[in-house]
A and B are shown apart, each in its own frame.
Chain A
Amino acid sequence: MELTLWTYEGPPHVGAMRVAASMEGVHYVLHAPQGDTYADLLFTMIERRDRRPPVTYTTFQARDLGGDTAELVKRSIQQAVDRFQPEALLVGESCTAELIQDQPGSLAHGMDLGVPVVSLDLPAYSKKENWGAAETLYQLCRGLLKDLVPPPGTAKPGPERWKQENRRPRVNLLGPSLLGFRCRDDVRELRSLLADHGIDVNVVAPLGARPADLIRLPAADANLCLYPEVAGPLCSWLERNFGTPVVRTVPIGIGATAQFLRELSSLLGLEPPELREADRSSRLPWYSKSVDSTYLTGKRVFIFADATHAIAAARIASRELGFTVVGLGSYSREQAREVRAAAQELGLEALISDDYLAVEQAMADAAPELVLGTQMERHSAKRLGIPCAVISAPLHVQDVPARYAPQMGWEGANVIFDSWVHPLMMGLEEHLIGMFRHDFEFVDGHFSHLEGASAPALQLPATAAGGASEVTPLSATPEGGALRWTASGEAELSRIPFFVRGKVRRNTEAYANERGVAEITEETLYEAKAHFSR
């Protein structure tokens, strides 16, 4: 038994719903009590879907338990098939039905339904949403393809067979689903990226696929495992049984997209991609190199997300934006190994947890200047007064934007640059604010991008807000007696531009005070400057 206040993932049957609702022609009969119908709103509200997910719930009640719930299951299955006429039927149960052991899958197999039936066994008391999505996609494909698996020993077709077959190479895009982060736009971006390289898309699944499309999966020359949380097991199964090679590099960020293209080209026997493609196709490299971005150097960033987006974010942050990653973690236990490896590369220990309070504590301890996380981290960051960009599910309706906003490919890199940098202060603006920060006009206002956070870095060590903030403005008469500016000190001070003069005066006085210096000469001023610039 474990106490949970907020949760990153729903139960595994919600993962199955994500697969069913992402597809066309699939219906899911779920043996579940009425309360479980709440899951519909994840799709109709968060994803703003214009139709209900294709799910029939048996909505059994306590009074049914004494009687024949199996009969209720069969009735629900028959009615769903009659009404929706699916091309494939998923049958499963939620946590409560698992306890009463009606075996809805077996019941469905015993009925003459005339459609392929896939029975889902998703252990609700040990597994979670992403696992459920991956298992459902795998079981559905396996169920539809198992009779087509070539017998052991059959020669597997090579990824370069397209040359013999006199056609363009073609690949499957696996993993995009509803309630995944920006999947809709990632698919569009990848279609266009692949088209630019002369590669056709064979099937996208589960998003937008029909059962008949899944039967065409083995016709691809390669599988792109875009979201390992959902597509990992399916890709491995297709590789083992149909010999389809898998590209596992997730093309999020400049380096990863280039690597993805190199891997794919080499696998398919295509010309290697042009070296300058990234610079030509995305603005991120130039924007990151441009002088304004100097101010991004060494920004402390804390990352927590699903494994796919956490790993990608760590790479982009550290290599492409020059941030310092001060924390990296994920709630995806199934991909913990990969996250740990990514963290180790950055000299960090990965935080693998689904306890958002532990994540919030780690965030506070790491004292970051930017948080890249899920909706959970957005709330934690807001409480701590730290800017945040959302990079991963779990989603809020605002993470399903009307505009085209992919994460993958060249345009994805552009979107990432904007959405991560905007929460930080723009470079020059920040520079000026640093100079003016002690002037009363700037007391409020310059943290307006925090959307209502009342004060910066409330519960963090002072270092988080930058060295200068440790210096409190001194009163005219500093404690410990008279503090006097010599003529040379005043003269030097007067040479400093007026808009930073006040800050320099206060810093110098603080420095003098700290060290018990009574007389401020020009040397004191320069020593103070050297002290604060460390």
Chain B
Amino acid sequence: MALTSTLPPVLRESGQREVFCGLTSIVWLHRRMPDAFFLVVGSRTCAHLIQSAAGVMIFAEPRFGTAILGERDLAGLADANEELDRLVGDLLARRPEIRTLFLVGSCPSEVIKLDLAKAAERINTRMQGRVRVVNYSGSGIETTFTQGEDGALTSLVPLLPSSPDPQLLIVGTLADGVEERFLSLFARMGLETVRTLPPRQSTDLPPVGPGTRLLLAQPFVADTVRALERRGAQRISAPYPLGVEGSCAWMAAAAAAFGIDPQRVAEVLDPLAERGRRALEPLRRKLEGKRLFLLPDSQLEIPLARFLHRECGMELVEVGTPYLDRQLMAEELPLLPEGTQLSEGQDVEKQLERVRASRPDLVVCGMGLANPLEAEGFATKWSIELVFSPIHGCDQAADLAELFARPLNRRELLQWN
């Protein structure tokens, strides 16, 4: 932690924020749990947001939808509750395969104080265990982008069975393939009881208790961690599993927490790390010395900056984050190079002025800003791709670096004369 003091004061800004709201996380959560349905209680804007962020409409009937409030619902709250019950009844009758229903609060439902917790309780009673109904808020007045996952996971915590037995619980959605890889690596180290939250089936909830040690796969699950800690679990402090260094430290921290012989851990991890670094080498040559500006978006900015600097040699111009959670970033912040300018929150116009003034080689930003920045001559990388792609783990380190090298490669490839 001592190293943190070498960072200059965090630039805190409040102005226009150009970040999705927490509803967006439904796009990956519904794929993770195919037996769950996410019902946003909100407006046409909410429906349009999820549809636009998802980008494709490939599903006949997606496992998410919006209960759109109308003028009639706003006239009286009792009416809105009845309407919601009716609509959920119809939905569950039509989709009998659904085991867990997430009622997701939105900006309008929060403002009119529609009590979704009560609604969930009411519908639960009526469903008599056939479907479990939970609720959380993905509203943009309270959450940003990836925080929606934190809300969804927190809502599941009360449903987890209790168990005092020792186990490792990985918290935060990982791509299925990446997760399997981690489980097999942990097994090789002798760590057999490893569970995940969210699980792949919404009904296959992991237990929690005093023997549970939490390992965070994603840096945006603060509320979930607090809820799990209240159930007796303890968090393992570790950097996030991005890049060779982060992934090895992450796995090693878990192994250490369970008292596994460091020698055995090294036997598993060393060949992986060596191979990962070898795969990274050509990408490092591409990225080394290139200047990087990260705009706040996915909350992955700090671990990414650490990876891109330490393993790929990039220079960090500014590392923006929607919010700075010092506790969950405790292992990451000391790994940032001296003088790294962090910024928290956003005033998008001012931040874009800093981008223009500093002329970075690559800007990581949201989809609304990417093409305008490209048109101004900046290479960009969409941050949303980082939450959809398998980027975690030693084996993925080169793939992760390649996401950032590709825009630069492309610029070198294109010729117009």
Write the residues of chain A forming the contact surface with B, with a CB cutoff of 8 angstroms: 1-7, 9-11, 13-14, 33-42, 44-45, 48-52, 56-62, 64-65, 76, 79, 83, 94-96, 99-100, 123-126, 128, 357, 360, 375-376, 379-380, 383
Partner of B58, one of A45, A58, A79, A379: A379
Q: Quick check: is B18 within 8 A (CB to CB) of the other chain?
A: yes
Min CB distance B122 to A, Å, is 15
Q: Could you name 23 residue pairs across A and B whose Cβ atoms are closer than 8 Å?
A: A1-B72, A1-B87, A2-B70, A10-B44, A33-B107, A33-B140, A34-B141, A37-B20, A37-B368, A38-B20, A44-B367, A44-B372, A50-B372, A52-B372, A58-B16, A61-B141, A96-B45, A96-B141, A99-B108, A99-B112, A125-B43, A376-B57, A380-B60
Contact indicator per residue, chain B 71-103, by CB within 8 Å of chain A (1) or not (0): 111100000100110110011000000000000
- CB-based contact B111/A7 at 8 Å: no
Residue picked from A4, A128, A380, most chain B C-beta under 10 Å: A4
- CB-based contact B141/A7 at 8 Å: no
- CB-based contact A2/B68 at 8 Å: yes
- Given known pairs A1-B73, A95-B108, the reply for A38 and B52 (CB within 8 Å) is yes
Partner of B372, one of A14, A49, A95, A125: A49
- CB-based contact A124/B43 at 8 Å: yes
Q: Quick check: is B267 within 8 A (CB to CB) of the other chain?
A: no
- CB-based contact B47/A37 at 8 Å: no
Range, interface on chain B: 35 or more
Q: For residue A383, which residues in chain B have a CB less than 8 angstroms away from its CB?
A: 60
Partner of B371, one of A50, A57, A59, A357: A50
Q: Quick check: is B402 within 8 A (CB to CB) of the other chain?
A: no
Q: Quick check: is B65 within 8 A (CB to CB) of the other chain?
A: yes
Q: For residue A375, which residues in chain B have a CB less than 8 angstroms away from its CB?
A: 57
- CB-based contact B372/A7 at 8 Å: no
Partner of A34, one of B21, B67, B367: B21
- Given known pairs A1-B69, A5-B62, A51-B372, the reply for A11 and B48 (CB within 8 Å) is yes
CB contacts under 8 Å to A, within B164-222, are none
- CB-based contact B144/A96 at 8 Å: no
A41 to B145, CA, bound (A): 15
Q: For residue A52, which residues in chain B have a CB less than 8 angstroms away from its CB?
A: 368-369, 372
Closest chain A residue to B48 by CB distance? A10
Write the residues of chain B forming the contact surface with A, with a CB cutoff of 8 angstroms: 15-24, 39, 42-49, 51-53, 57-58, 60-62, 64-74, 80, 83-84, 86-87, 90-91, 107-108, 110-112, 139-142, 144, 349, 366-372, 374-375
Q: For residue A125, which residues in chain B have a CB less than 8 angstroms away from its CB?
A: 43, 69-71, 73-74
Min CB distance A205 to B, Å, is 24
- CB-based contact A96/B111 at 8 Å: yes
Known: A2-B70, A6-B62, A41-B366. 6 other contacts (CB 8 A): A2-B68, A35-B49, A41-B53, A50-B371, A50-B372, A124-B44
Q: For residue A57, which residues in chain B have a CB less than 8 angstroms away from its CB?
A: 16
Min CB distance B93 to A, Å, is 12
Closest chain A residue to B145 by CB distance? A35
Q: For residue B22, which residues in chain A have a CB less than 8 angstroms away from its CB?
A: 35
Q: For residue A62, which residues in chain B have a CB less than 8 angstroms away from its CB?
A: 110, 139, 141-142
Residue picked from A2, A38, A357, most chain B C-beta under 10 Å: A38
Closest chain A residue to B44 by CB distance? A11
- Given known pairs A38-B49, A50-B372, the reply for A96 and B73 (CB within 8 Å) is no
- CB-based contact B71/A1 at 8 Å: no
- CB-based contact B91/A59 at 8 Å: no
Q: For residue B49, which residues in chain A have a CB less than 8 angstroms away from its CB?
A: 35-36, 38
- CB-based contact B67/A56 at 8 Å: no
- CB-based contact A1/B367 at 8 Å: no
A360 to B71, CA, bound (A): 28
- Given known pairs A37-B17, A38-B49, the reply for A95 and B91 (CB within 8 Å) is no
- CB-based contact B44/A95 at 8 Å: yes
Q: For residue A123, which residues in chain B have a CB less than 8 angstroms away from its CB?
A: 71
Closest chain A residue to B40 by CB distance? A4
Q: For residue A58, which residues in chain B have a CB less than 8 angstroms away from its CB?
A: 16
